[in-house]
Amino acid sequence: MSDPDAAPAGAAPASSNLVMRVLAAIVLAPLAIALAYAGGWLWAFLVTLVSIGLFAEWLMVVGAGSAALTACGTIVLAIMGFCIAFGALKTAVITGLVGGAIVAAVARGKFVWAASGFAYASAALLASILVRQDPVHGFAALMFVLLVVWATDIGGYFAGRGIGGPKLWPRVSPKKTWAGAFGGFAASLAVAAGFAACGLGKAIPLLLLSAILSVVSQAGDLFESAVKRRFGVKDSSHLIPGHGGLLDRLDGFVVAILVAWIIGFLRHGVHSAGSGLMVW
């Protein structure tokens, strides 16, 4: 997320940026929801493409975006996505471990940053597909995570711009405010309340879960901001109008879906993580 709760710096630029954000969301959100609903190889294909994009953008941000390294990571992530989509989870994990070692070797001087980026993209790929693969509650669980992250982003944007006030962490993200952080947190609780009201889960567990996912989503946002600041980069790319790149848009989701899968896995196992999130 690229400073969604930034205080206004100018009416015209801010208004134009908001319009671009809304238009991009109108196009991309229904597509993501439709493919999430379809599940199976369609969702796995989208997630694999996005994960490859995350890895490529990470390499550009950290200054390690060579053609050989990008191609190597792309091939490994594509194989992982194919394997997990068709039920070969162990093969996907082994491929990821071997591929990560190869990526680190190819990166040479920046092997730590390259390996970190590969691990980041791989975690996003595996968690996003595994949560959806739950045959009973996969779609509901995935939508819960998506909506919590989106609500956190939107609530933070409007609360930060409307209220302003003290900065959250100026050294890492100068424009983010405490008001935006709490606004996003409150919006995420509204998502949990809505799911409970629709009979999709118990209120208290969903509220606690949304609170955790909102916090880690914002932590993921700050982490990506810290990496960009470390390398003097403003946006990971300009792929999505009004949002920046995939890293800017999905930094919170990557951490949230990983934490969500871990919680679901600890409760109901590898292939029933969705039920582990929604059934209490």
Q: Are 131 and 29 in contact (CB under 8 A)?
A: no
Beta strands in the chain (DSSP E): 167-169, 173-177
pTM of the model: 0.90
Q: Are 146 and 178 in contact (CB under 8 A)?
A: no
Segment (H or E) for 144: helix 138-163
> What is the per-residue pLDDT for 28?
86
Listed by start position, the domains of the chain span 11-278
pLDDT digits (tens, 9 = 90+) for 136-170: 999 999 999 999 999 999 999 899 888 888 898 88
> What is the per-residue pLDDT for 243?
65
> What is the per-residue pLDDT for 8?
43
> What is the per-residue pLDDT for 6?
44
> What is the per-residue pLDDT for 42?
96
Neighbouring residues of 20: CB distance < 8 A, sequence distance ≥ 6: 241, 242, 243
As to burial, measured by CB atoms within 10 angstroms (0-12 exposed, 13-18 middle, 19+ buried), residue 35 is middle
SS (HEC) of 53-104: HHHHHHHHHCCCCCHHHHHHHHHHHHHHHHHHHCCCHHHHHHHHHHHHHHHH
Radius of gyration of the chain (CA): 18
pLDDT digits (tens, 9 = 90+) for 209-241: 999 999 999 999 999 999 999 998 887 787 776
Short-list 136, 127, 132, CA closest to 275: 136
DSSP state of 236: S
Q: What does the alpha-carbon distance between residue 245 and residue 108 come to, in Å, rounded to a whole number? A: 26
DSSP string, 195-223: HHHTTSS-HHHHHHHHHHHHHHHHHHHHH
Q: Which of the residues in the chain have pLDDT under 50? A: 2, 4-11
